[in-house]
Chain A
Amino acid sequence: KQEVTQIPAALSVPEGENLVLNCSFTDSAIYNLQWFRQDPGKGLTSLLLIQSSQREQTSGRLNASLDKSSGRSTLYIAASQPGDSATYLCAVATNAGKSTFGDGTTLTVKP
């Protein structure tokens, strides 16, 4: 059974800092890994998708890496802004389409 863990559960940083969010998973037989952002009471917004054959993906100030052998992914956020405050979730998918989510990291960026 796949288990996904995200550490830390909460993180508070001053504006402008670079930061790393961590995601670990127990079963390396994944199809892809996806990072999402969720604002309070809202749905999930896709940030980055990494296929199992890829090592990293970049979009603007975001960079996500994947190391299947160690069961780890990181989401790097450069030059954080108050608008980045949200809960960040990672999800690992099987090739059949079932995704397993972590419980997220709640990020607060202070002005």
Chain B
Amino acid sequence: DAGVTQSPTHLIKTRGQQVTLRCSPKSGHDTVSWYQQALGQGPQFIFQYYEEEERQRGNFPDRFSGHQFPNYSSELNVNALLLGDSALYLCASSSGGHGGELFFGEGSRLTVL
């Protein structure tokens, strides 16, 4: 049973560029949430996707956008990258679109130079 998978694991971008991160949820899960984790801090909620719609959003600017596909996989897009966007981006899957148990992937480490 595959767990949550994320790609790429590491990437380096320069300021102003755009990045796309990908996530496949755990088998049987239909809800994907994205989190940003800065070094030494807890994860911060970006948004949640359920039934291909953004259901909830945290305090992040519109430069952060996402998408969920019919197979429940998801993408996180960040435009006009800033140095402060450097972080570990974590994808969590759950079931049913509400506050169920979260299962996380290994994350995508983004470095913005």
Residues of A contacting B4 in the complex (Cβ-Cβ under 8 angstroms):
43
Residues of A contacting B88 in the complex (Cβ-Cβ under 8 angstroms):
41
Given contacts A31-B98, A46-B101, A103-B41, contact A97 B107 (CB under 8 A): no
CB distance from A62 to the nearest CB of B (A): 15
Interface residues of B (CB under 8 A from A): 4, 6, 31, 33, 35, 40-45, 48, 50, 55-56, 58, 88, 90, 92, 94, 97-107, 109
CB distance from B24 to the nearest CB of A (A): 14
B42 contacts A4, C-beta separation under 8 Å: yes
A95 contacts B101, C-beta separation under 8 Å: no
Given contacts A101-B42, A103-B40, contact A34 B58 (CB under 8 A): no
Interface size on A, residues (CB 8 A): 26
Give the top 5 A-B pairs by smallest Cβ distance, nearest first.
A101-B42, A31-B99, A93-B99, A44-B104, A43-B106
Given contacts A43-B104, A46-B103, contact A95 B42 (CB under 8 A): no
B102 contacts A41, C-beta separation under 8 Å: no
B56 contacts A98, C-beta separation under 8 Å: yes
In the complex, whether A91 has a CB less than 8 A from a CB of chain B is yes
Closest B residue to A96 by beta carbon equals B56
Residues of B contacting A36 in the complex (Cβ-Cβ under 8 angstroms):
104
Residues of A contacting B92 in the complex (Cβ-Cβ under 8 angstroms):
44, 99
A102 to B41 alpha-carbon distance, docked (Å): 8
Residues of B contacting A100 in the complex (Cβ-Cβ under 8 angstroms):
45
A94 contacts B99, C-beta separation under 8 Å: yes
In the complex, whether A89 has a CB less than 8 A from a CB of chain B is yes
User: Can you report 18 residue pairs joining A to B where beta carbons are below 8 Å apart?
Assistant: A31-B98, A31-B99, A43-B104, A43-B106, A44-B104, A89-B43, A95-B99, A97-B48, A97-B56, A97-B98, A98-B33, A98-B48, A99-B33, A99-B99, A100-B45, A101-B43, A103-B42, A104-B42
In the complex, whether A66 has a CB less than 8 A from a CB of chain B is no
Residues of A contacting B109 in the complex (Cβ-Cβ under 8 angstroms):
41
Residues of B contacting A99 in the complex (Cβ-Cβ under 8 angstroms):
33, 45, 92, 99, 102
CB distance from B70 to the nearest CB of A (A): 20
